[in-house]
Amino acid sequence: MKWLVAALAITLSGCSSMSIEECNNADWYQVGYSDGLNGHSPKMIDSYISDCSEAAVFPDREQWSKGFKVGTGLYCSPDNGYKVGYEGQQYYYVCPGESFLKNYELGKQARQRDQRLKQIETELRTIEDKLRTTPSENHDERKRLENEKRDLVSERSHLLGLTVQHNFNISF
């Protein structure tokens, strides 16, 4: 069981190299399953073949492929597509059909939108601080800050409107 945990830990960490012991003890179905479940590239098996050949161990490609297929089937759900996109994870185009990819793109867009909203909030706080400390007789600077604030508030409103739209456009 320890070898399975070690193999899965390496697989989950995104590191494709395996030690000689891991190559010797790997359950190739489980390794493939884990790779598929995590959306890794189907070329991962080639890395294992290369790494393990140094130990004169030859991964069972058939068992790995069977596990990879099952793991990928779970990974490719539309809900997971959104999650993977939102978390900013790499997608290796392992999913058939369009629903995963469509939701992956929606998740990426939501992530970018949320990051921009956080940035806007920071910028607005900075502007508010500057407005508090800018003398009232400095009309030009205050006007510039007010205009910048207005533009940011407008952009924030637009982005929040997109959030409502996207919450109703997730495909299954």
The answer as to whether 172 is a domain residue is no
The answer as to whether 94 is a domain residue is no
Q: With 0-12 CB in 10 A as exposed, 13-18 as middle and 19+ as buried, what is 147?
A: exposed
Q: Which domain covers residue 7, as residue numbers?
A: 2-75
Structure pTM?
A: 0.67
Task: Please state the domain count of the chain.
Answer: 2
Instruction: Looking at the structure, tell me whether residues 14 and 65 fall in a common domain.
Output: yes
Residue 169 has pLDDT above 70, yes or no: no
The answer as to whether 88 is a domain residue is no
Instruction: Looking at the structure, tell me whether residues 71 and 7 fall in a common domain.
Output: yes
pLDDT in tens, 106-132: 999 999 999 999 999 999 999 999 999
pLDDT in tens, 74-91: 999 999 999 999 999 999
How many percent of the chain have pLDDT more than 90? 70
The answer as to whether 90 is a domain residue is no
Q: How confident is the model at residue 16 (pLDDT cuts 50, 70, 90)?
A: very low
Instruction: Looking at the structure, tell me whether residues 106 and 66 fall in a common domain.
Output: no
